[in-house]
Amino acid sequence: MRIERDSFGEIAVAEEVYWGAQTQRSLENFKIGEGKMPIAVIYGLAEVKAACAKVSWQLGRLDEARAKAIIGAAEEITNGKLDDNFPLRVYQTGSGTQSNMNVNEVIAHRANELLGEDLVHPNDHVNRSQSSNDTFPTAMHLAAYKAIREGVLPELGAMIEVLEQLVEQNTEYIKIGRTHLQDATPISFAQEISGWLGMMQANYRQLSESVSELLGLAIGGTAVGTGLNAPEGFGELVAKELAEKIGYPFYSAANKFHALSSKDALVYVHGALKSLAANAMKFANDVRWLASGPRSGLGEITIPANEPGSSIMPGKINPTQAEALTMVAVTVMGNDAAIGIAASQGNFELNVFMPVIIDKFLESATLLSAGLESFRLHCVSGIRANPERMAENLERSLMLVTALAPEIGYELAAKAAKYAHEHKLSLLQACLELQLVSEEEFKKFVRPEEMI
């Protein structure tokens, strides 16, 4: 052990770690849950520290040696070399101060190691012109934006490509449509797939448009939004540096009081993730309904058999990928409620639910991108039509009578459908027995291929 010091006094810290006194105090005081601060947030904080050090150097507020050492240590963090040095839980101070200090201390310790002497202080140098109140929300936006741009959107694009291919491959199959889980009028299987495709395309558009709300950064606001202890233009210069380094058009938020106290951008973007979760739920449920059976269900499609489905029933195969994706969807919907409530809290100049907001946001983005990828690779790409069952269900459907309504009227058409159902007849047989149309007329009017 070694002895570290902060404004509270001395505390023992393990010799082999890079963190210092404030991290150690948090580690001992907040043993709540098992979830650690997401590493994407830690990387975001490290990117902020590097950018701030570079700007402070440019402005003459930090010497070259310290600045380069801070930048070097921060880059080691973003490269994943120091991941074991960030042990703090999500459930800590609502401003994320302790994780901000965790990063400050690790960078300071490693920077001094690089320099060969103790020149870098976690507060005075690594945190110069900053507050946890502006660095943490800035890191939140960096992490959230990347999670959407580099995770969810690429996977949505891949899913769209697979569905486009399925539409092209299934234009010849006509099946019965269903509303309220009851037989409706005919539809082509390609049209049904196009509904799934349209959902994914809408989600891609919604996320692409909403994610731009995350580009505005709180950096430069320091403690309460006034920019106290930061030079004029500091936030703008840091945002520009981050944009150039990361490759996305980040900018300094115009109103820092809003940027520190409100998390509405994250609520807004997560709303698009919730929309995706809702569509994913519907998509997965459609697939498992259509694949149900294989002999006593709808059985209109087959999906890949990936693993045994039962520990007691030999040969049973279950729609496990659909089940996994629907569980993801439920989690995202729950996360949306947590994020919305958390964003409504906090008082005056600061939201104090930030760690849980970003934890839930990143969980949603990660689960959706991984869940959709798994569903695409192990289920959707292997969907195949069962034309024989589609034709059988289509022929037995009573709602084909809809095509007769313009010829014999709604009331008589309904009478024919009810009569067929009650007497277990085909629609043709019912119409003939009721003398509503001739067989020739029936075949002329009831043509499923013309009803789609």
DSSP string, 17-34: ----HHHHHHHHH---SS
Environment class of 284 (CB within 10 Å of its CB; exposed 0-12, middle 13-18, buried 19+): buried
Give the distance from CA 294 to its chain's centroid. Answer: 32
pTM: 0.96
User: Which helix (H) or strand (E) covers residue 193, if one does?
Assistant: helix 189-210
**Is 310 among the residues known to form the active site?**
yes
Q: Which residues pair with 36 in a beta bridge?
A: 89
* pLDDT at site 317: 92
The answer to whether residues 25 and 8 touch, using CB atoms and an 8 Å cutoff, is yes
**Catalytic residue selected from 121, 129, 180, 258:** 180
Residues of the chain scoring pLDDT < 70? none
Which one of 56, 129, 296, 310 is the catalytic residue? 310
pLDDT score, position 346: 86
Average pLDDT, the chain: 97
pLDDT tens figures, 318-359: 999 999 999 999 999 999 999 999 999 989 999 999 999 999
d(CA 416, CA 246): 67
DSSP 171: T
Query: Is residue 344 flagged as an active site residue?
Result: no
The pLDDT tens digits of the residues spanning 137-194 come to: 999 999 999 999 999 999 999 999 999 999 999 999 999 999 999 999 999 999 999 9
